[in-house]
């Protein structure tokens, strides 16, 4: 067997074990009994130790040195495996296991703190997580920028400075758009009523299927914070239900379906390989955001959804397709990131990006995080935070140690803007299909141009290959200006 073949066979087993570990995490957030949390932490730490050992196995270095990749795919396999080997080799095994163990325990503490509105009870474990991630960043950065070192786990090749530049270009236009909406004098009526849980979940499943989610290789469950988990032939999603706010269920489901379809649509011969998952979180978010926003919140699709909601729930307080479209896209400075309209969403992310960079650098103490959050939120949104679950405790990411993850949401929006511009160019009749509840022309375009390739190309190159154009913020900003200008009449 050649060095290349041995390398790929070994990597296949490593990827399979990583999927098992991911399944344990899915179980913890959906059906695991609360009393099992400490044991689950030990189980995850044990698996992480095995995975870390495989990632730094000396044979991997030997196979990489001897491998003679010939095809584009083989070269990409070598590139990604070498990158994973080099990063894993810099992080001590006991530190890697400690991060997994601590974050497994922290999830339950975060959920309890959120439920009881008790920030103080969560801060000690957050401090521990921050310390562990600072140690990891120091090991990875070799004296370079600590935040950049962690960012590579989510968006390889990206830097904090590049994100600063991109976000600096976004912020003024977003603020101006928000001001134009506020000055328009138009305030669309929100959807109101009581929408039974069973009916919401039934329509959510219908939407998931419409957007291409294969339930023979997936499932939909409920969780405090919706997420997608897995790749290949076992990709699971979660959603949430509020009887007074069905859009949260429907659009969270579509969002997670975007993630899940990226994984399900990767070419079968790449499954359980280094190329067999989404190439980065920014590219992953481009899929979830374009499914949720440019497609599912479009005027054409919401017209169809209006009819389906009336079929399921009877008459609505919002009358007519135009009013319903405005209700779906209503702009309001709400507290919750995952429920934010497209105008405010990126402002949520920019705030979190700044706060977590400051914490990692030691410029913001954990005990001061809540006050810093509340001050920044009031300044950016003009609304005071009323309770921690609407503020610093709303997101699961920091309890999971995902420092460097948040900016990929806005990066994903930028990527989605580029993809949407290109697919509208290539699919001029898309709205006719969307108006019948059929997004498949866009889904096929995304699958063929991007999803099936998995990790074949680096993130930015993945988007540019799909669109045939350089990545930039202008397509997103133009889309937002046109959409909300039409809704709000300016």
In the chain, pLDDT over 70 holds for what percent of residues? 100
Tens digits of residue pLDDT in 183-216: 999 999 999 999 999 999 999 999 999 999 999 9
pLDDT tens, 424-472? 999 999 999 999 999 999 999 999 999 999 999 999 999 999 999 999 9
Q: What is the pLDDT of residue 338?
A: 87
Average pLDDT for the chain: 97
Asked whether the predicted pLDDT for residue 405 surpasses 90, the reply is yes
Counting residues of the chain whose pLDDT is more than 90, the rounded percentage is: 98
Which residues are tagged catalytic?
Answer: 256
Section 349-362 average pLDDT: 97
Q: Check whether 329 has a pLDDT greater than 90.
A: yes
Q: What are 116-153's pLDDT values in tens digits?
A: 999 999 999 999 999 999 999 999 999 999 999 999 99
Judged against a pLDDT cut of 90, whether residue 161 lies above it is answered with: yes
- Residue 224: pLDDT over 90: no
pLDDT in tens, 43-58: 999 999 999 999 999 9
Q: What is the pLDDT of residue 1?
A: 86
Rounded mean pLDDT, 175-179 = 95
Q: What's the whole-number mean pLDDT along residues 241-265?
A: 97
Q: Give the bridge partners for 230, in sequence order.
A: 235
Give the pLDDT score at 299. Answer: 98
The arithmetic mean of pLDDT across residues 267-296, rounded, is 98
What would the 3-class secondary structure string for the chain be?
CCHHHHHHHHHHHHHHHHHHHHHHHHHHHHCCCHHHHHHHHHHHHHHHHHHHHHHCCHHHHHHHHHCCCCCHHHHHHHHHHHHHHHHHHHCCHHHHHHHHHHHHHHHHHHHHHHHHCCHHHHHHHHHHHHHHHHHHHHHHHCCCCHHHHHHCCCCCCCCHHHHHHHHHHHHHHHHHHHHHHHHCCCCCCCCCCCCCHHHHHHHHHHHHHHCCCCHHHCCEEECCCCCEEEECCEEEEEECCCCCCHHHHHHHHHHHHHHHHHHHCCCHHHCCCCCCCCCCHHHHHHHHHHHHHHHCCCHHHHHHHHHHHHHHHCCCCCCCHHHHHHHHCCCCCCCCHHHCCHHHHHHHHHHHHHHHHHHHHCCCCHHHHHHHHHHHHHHHHCCCCCCHHHCCCCCCCCCCCCCCCCHHHHHHHHHHHHHHHHHHHHCCCHHHHHCCCCCHHHHHHHHHHCHHHCCCCCHHHHHHHHHCCCCCCHHHHHHHHHHHHHHHCC
Strand order of the β-sheet with 220-222 is: 220-222, 234-239, 228-231
Q: What pLDDT score was predicted for residue 214?
A: 98
225 pLDDT exceeds 90? no
Dist CA 15 CA 23 (whole Å): 12
């Amino acid at each position: 067997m050649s060095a290349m073949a041995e390398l790929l066979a070994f990597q296949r087993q490593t990827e399979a074990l990583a999927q098992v570990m991911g399944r344990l995490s899915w179980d913890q957030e959906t059906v695991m009994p609360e009393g099992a949390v400490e044991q689950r932490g030990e189980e995850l730490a044990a698996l992480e130790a095995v995975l870390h050992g495989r990632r730094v196995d000396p044979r991997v270095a030997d196979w990489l040195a001897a491998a003679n990749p010939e095809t584009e795919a083989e070269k990409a396999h070598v590139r990604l495996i070498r990158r994973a080997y080099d990063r894993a080799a810099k992080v001590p095994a006991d530190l890697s296991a400690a991060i997994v163990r601590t974050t497994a325990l922290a999830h339950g503490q975060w959920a309890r703190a959120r439920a009881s509105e008790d920030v103080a009870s969560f801060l000690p474990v957050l401090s521990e997580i921050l310390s562990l991630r600072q140690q990891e960043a120091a090991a990875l950065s070799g004296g370079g920028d600590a935040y950049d070192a962690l960012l590579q786990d989510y968006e390889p090749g990206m830097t904090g400075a590049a994100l600063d530049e991109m976000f600096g270009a976004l912020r003024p236009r977003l603020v101006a758009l928000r001001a134009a909406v506020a000055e328009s004098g138009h305030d669309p009526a929100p959807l109101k009523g009581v929408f039974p849980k069973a009916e919401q979940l039934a329509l959510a499943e219908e939407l998931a299927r419409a957007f291409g989610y294969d339930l023979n290789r997936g499932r939909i469950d409920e969780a405090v914070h919706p997420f997608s988990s897995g790749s290949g032939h076992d990709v699971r999603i979660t959603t949430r239900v509020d009887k007074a706010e069905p859009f949260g269920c429907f659009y969270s489901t579509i969002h997670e379906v975007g993630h899940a379809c990226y994984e399900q649509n990767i070419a079968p011969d790449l499954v359980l390989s280094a190329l067999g998952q989404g190439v980065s979180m920014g590219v992953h978010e481009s899929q979830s955001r374009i499914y949720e926003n440019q497609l599912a919140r479009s005027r054409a699709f919401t017209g169809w959804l209006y009819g389906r909601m009336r079929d399921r729930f009877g008459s609505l307080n919002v009358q007519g397709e135009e009013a319903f479209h405005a209700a779906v896209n209503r702009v309001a400075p709400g507290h919750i990131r995952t429920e934010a309209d497209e105008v405010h969403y990126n402002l949520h992310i920019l705030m979190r990006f700044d706060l977590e960079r400051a914490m990692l650098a030691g410029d913001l103490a954990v005990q001061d995080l809540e006050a810093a959050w509340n001050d920044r939120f009031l300044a950016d949104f003009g609304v005071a935070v009323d309770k921690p679950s609407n503020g610093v405790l709303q997101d699961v990411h920091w309890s999971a140690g995902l420092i460097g993850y948040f900016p990929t949401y806005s990066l994903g929006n930028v990527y989605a803007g580029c993809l949407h511009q290109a697919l509208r160019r290539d699919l001029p009749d898309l709205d006719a299909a969307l108006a019948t509840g059929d997004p498949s022309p866009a889904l096929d375009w995304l699958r063929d141009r991007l999803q099936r390739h998995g990790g074949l190309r680096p993130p930015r190159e993945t988007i540019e290959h799909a669109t045939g154009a350089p990545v930039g913020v202008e397509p997103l900003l133009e889309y937002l200006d046109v959409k909300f200008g039409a809704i709000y009449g300016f």
